[in-house]
Structure 1
């Protein structure tokens, strides 16, 4: 298992940040190369399932997730159900006053491809983290303008 934990400050109230974060259908507006859809349930309760396709020009992979914890407007935990992506993701919003919040994105992942994945992760991790950081910057702008 490996952990990736990154955060971004958002100039928006925690409730707005939460609503922007959990607007799954619009996640592609801020998450690089990703489209998300609710495939089971309402997307706002434990047991709901999401499918996130990440890729370019139709080449990529689908990460299927199940919501295992739903604590609005603070925390959502998903379990990655796919063969390629396994582990848990935690999306947390921390109130920083009336008009500010912090979004924390944590992934606790089982690396794919066995020994090759473990050996390749030190090379891939900086690129993965850079992509998440870029997505978080985009998210802050998106949440600040969310309506």
Structure 2
């Protein structure tokens, strides 16, 4: 199990950053070799399910996720979204929180516990290192205007 935390600051308003971070299909645009499909009808809410399919050909796997907490930001109050990873290969959870920050900007906190089935615990350190870099780049990409 790898547990990691990322923080980023954006000059954009908290509502805009929330939309950028929680438009699930955009995650496929910033994570290499990944396509994201939302399975449930909009709008996003608790119970929304989406699947990130990562890899190439026979080496691809599905990473289904369910939104279990959905509290968008309102009137200067932070927004939080918690996801459960329900895959057969990758499990764990992720929590994305968007806080108002500074003079009209935002601070994103992404915390995740990532487990890869059948991966020995001796690999937790390297898994965390790789995940922090990969998800850090993904968050950076999501924060860019679309």
Q: Which residue of 1 aligns with 2:60?
A: 60
Alpha-carbon displacement from aligned partner over 1:13-45 (angstroms, at most 9, x marks no partner): 000000111111222223333221111242511
The answer (yes or no) to whether the contact 2:37–2:50 under 8 Å persists in 1 is: yes
User: Helix, strand or coil for the counterpart of 2:39?
Assistant: strand
Write the deviation string for residues 51-78 of structure 1: whole angstroms up to 9, x where unpaired.
Answer: 0112246733211011100001311111
Residue of structure 2 in register with 1:135 after alignment? 138
Indicate conservation of the 8 Å contact 2:2/2:127, yes or no: no
Alpha-carbon spacing, 1:128–1:56, altered in 2? closer, same or farther (3 Å): farther
Query: For 1:92-132, what per-residue CA distance to the aligned partner results, in whole angstroms no more than 9, with x for missing partners?
Result: 1011045311111111234421xx43112223322222111
TM-score w.r.t. the length of structure 1 is 0.83
Q: How many residues align?
A: 141
Cα root mean square deviation, aligned: 2.0
Which of 102, 105, 113 lines up with 1:108 in the alignment? Answer: 113
Q: TM-score, normalised by structure 2?
A: 0.84
Instruction: Mark the runs of 5 or more structure 1 residues left unpaired by the alignment.
Output: none
What does residue 122 of structure 1 align with?
125
Q: Kindly state the Cα deviation for residue 7 of structure 1 after the two structures are TM-superposed.
A: 1.6
